[in-house]
Amino acid sequence: MSPDAPVLDCRGMLCPKPLLEARQAIEALPEGSLIVLVDNLAAKENVTQAMVELGHDVFSELGDGVWSVTVTKAAGARHEAEMSPSPAGTTVLFVADRGLGRSDPDLGALLMRAFMATIADRPQAPDVIALMQGGVRLACEGSAVLQQLTALQERGAEILVCGTCLDYFGLMGKLQAGRVSNMAEIAGALMTAIRVIPL
């Protein structure tokens, strides 16, 4: 970690702002390192993942409730414009609750289990499953559909789990399927998909 590296203070920013700010700052940096300060684990994970995907070296440490993420710019790193959130032609399953429907939570949970079992049994899996709001609980410890989500993931479905939502519900350490994602990535997947199935 370089003591002379510029510091980008993203404390207090909501997703996807820290990620967007960090991407812009690292693009503008000719060489060397950038220190990004964030005050929640979701932002730290999102910034880290994005910088690693672009080819940069990343080191992070926690002190007094603030993550210090040091990004060292790599000479051969890719530019953001070269990155694609999802391939064209994808089918995205967008899940915003742990149950199907709003009238009866127990029935909704039962229907969600049946739906996920049916999807997992079909020959073609969705390309992306985006989980937000209460839907993030489906990918966490104790979920009744964890086995189905894991099976779909093993068959190639990319499961994007909203980090802000995990953080809000205190579930960051309980994620069992998929990976921590962010609003920028999920919005990108939805905007480039040929077919979006909202639940």
Q: Which architecture characterizes domain 91-198 according to CATH?
A: 3-Layer(aba) Sandwich (3.40)
Q: pLDDT value at position 176?
A: 96
CATH 3.30.110.40 maps onto the chain at: 7-82
Cis peptide before 18 (omega within 30 of 0): no
Q: Could you read off the pLDDT of 119-159 as tens digits, one per residue?
A: 988 888 899 999 999 999 999 999 999 999 999 999 999 99
Q: Is 10 exposed, middle or buried (0-12, 13-18, 19+ CB in 10 A)?
A: buried
CATH 3.40.1260.10 maps onto the chain at: 91-198
Percent of the chain exceeding pLDDT 90 equals 51
Q: Could you read off the pLDDT of 65-115 as tens digits, one per residue?
A: 899 999 998 877 666 544 445 454 589 999 999 998 888 889 999 999 999
Is the CB of residue 151 less than 8 Å from the CB of residue 185?
Answer: no
Class of domain 7-82: alpha beta
Kindly tell me if the per-residue pLDDT of 45 is higher than 90. Answer: no
User: What does each C-alpha distance from 144 to 75, 104, 170 come to in angstroms?
Assistant: 45, 17, 19
Name which residue leads in pLDDT, 4 or 154. 154
Looking at residue 6, the DSSP 8-state letter turns out to be: -
| Residue 62 to residue 39: CA distance in whole angstroms | 9
Percent of the chain exceeding pLDDT 70 equals 91
Task: Tell me the pLDDT of the chain averaged across its residues.
Answer: 88
